[in-house]
């Protein structure tokens, strides 16, 4: 897959948010669309969505945002005492918007960041447009899958023993189609995991849980698109059924074949068309 025209260096930006440095990659103009990453070691917004930024930036002001502890954002904890992870991250996004003068935005959350997007929609309904949730649901049991899934187990192995070999094993669970998993992807993720302070910050973050939002999600007014891969080994696709059953204004798109946790990469062109059509219509 070709490298994006909107390059990392050309789009990178730092914003001071109440004393914390938040790193973003930004491109395009128009309605604001935030893109967030998951919670695994080495997660960052650029690697999550660099294969989508060119297409999306033709229609939106795209802001790919590293949450605190990840990518090149601050490694110090910004979670307040008693906050759940979704509440803390939703607050940080709102504070970022206030600093930058952004009144309203669409939100795209991948995996662990999905609950923060839903929380944002619940707490700040006048500041949100539509939500795109990738491999993320309001919560609840996964009926058919042993817990934790094998990908989550591999993730824990790397966190405890961060070798390139263990990163390779973890990435095979993210992208199960061997033809799509490249050496460059593995190296980029490994390098991001080795950013000083990241693994320690991520370990602290993992001690704070996302809320189970099922009791509250019925009052979410934003329209929601949920996307998932049928062979997701990190967050199994039964979660899409939870989303379908509990989110009021939801539609779900499932990919078959050998589709994993990174459908925005594995099916980039279709993902881009789907998201653009959903957000604009």
- Domain count for the chain, please give it: 1
Give residue-wise pLDDT tens across range 21-49. Answer: 999 999 999 999 999 999 999 999 999 99
Whether 97 is in a domain gets the answer: yes
Structural domain that includes position 260: 8-280
Whether 2 is in a domain gets the answer: no
Residues noted as catalytic: 261
> On the CB side of 189, how many CA atoms lie within 13 Å of its CA?
30
CATH at residue 26: 3.40.50.1820
The pLDDT-based confidence of 206 (bands split at 50, 70, 90) is confident
Give residue-wise pLDDT tens across range 71-124. Answer: 999 999 899 989 999 999 999 999 999 999 999 999 999 999 999 999 999 999
**What is the edge-to-edge ordering of all strands in the sheet holding 20-27?**
12-17, 20-27, 61-65, 32-35, 105-110, 128-134, 224-229, 250-255
Contact 15, 21 (CB under 8 A): yes
Give residue-wise pLDDT tens across range 231-279. Answer: 999 999 999 999 999 999 999 999 999 999 999 999 999 999 999 999 9
pTM: 0.95
């Amino acid at each position: 897959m070709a490298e994006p025209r909107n390059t990392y260096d050309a789009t990178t930006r730092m914003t001071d948010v109440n004393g914390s440095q938040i790193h973003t990659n930004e491109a395009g103009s128009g309605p604001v669309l935030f893109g967030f990453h998951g919670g695994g070691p080495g997660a960052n917004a650029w690697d999550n969505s660099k294969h989508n930024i060119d297409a999306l930036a033709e229609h939106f002001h795209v802001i790919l945002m590293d949450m605190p502890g990840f990518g090149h954002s601050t490694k110090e904890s910004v979670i307040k005492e008693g906050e759940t992870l979704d509440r803390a991250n939703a607050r940080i996004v709102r504070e970022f918007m206030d600093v930058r003068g952004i009144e309203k935005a669409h939100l795209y959350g991948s995996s662990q960041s999905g609950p923060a997007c839903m929380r944002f929609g619940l707490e700040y309904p006048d500041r949100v447009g539509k939500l795109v949730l990738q491999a993320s649901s309001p919560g609840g049991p996964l009926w058919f899958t042993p817990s934790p899934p094998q990908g989550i187990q591999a993730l824990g192995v790397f966190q405890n023993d961060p070798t390139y070999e263990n990163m390779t094993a973890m990435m095979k669970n993210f992208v199960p189609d061997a033809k799509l998993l490249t050496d460059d992807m593995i190296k980029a993720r490994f390098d991001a995991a080795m950013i000083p302070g990241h693994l320690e910050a991520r370990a602290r973050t993992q001690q704070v849980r996302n809320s189970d939002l099922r009791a509250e999600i019925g009052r979410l007014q934003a329209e929601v698109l949920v996307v998932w891969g049928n062979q997701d080994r990190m967050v199994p696709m039964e979660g899409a059924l939870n989303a379908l059953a509990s989110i009021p204004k939801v539609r779900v798109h499932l990919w078959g074949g050998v589709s994993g946790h990174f459908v925005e990469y594995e099916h980039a062109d279709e993902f881009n068309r789907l998201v653009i059509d959903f957000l604009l219509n």
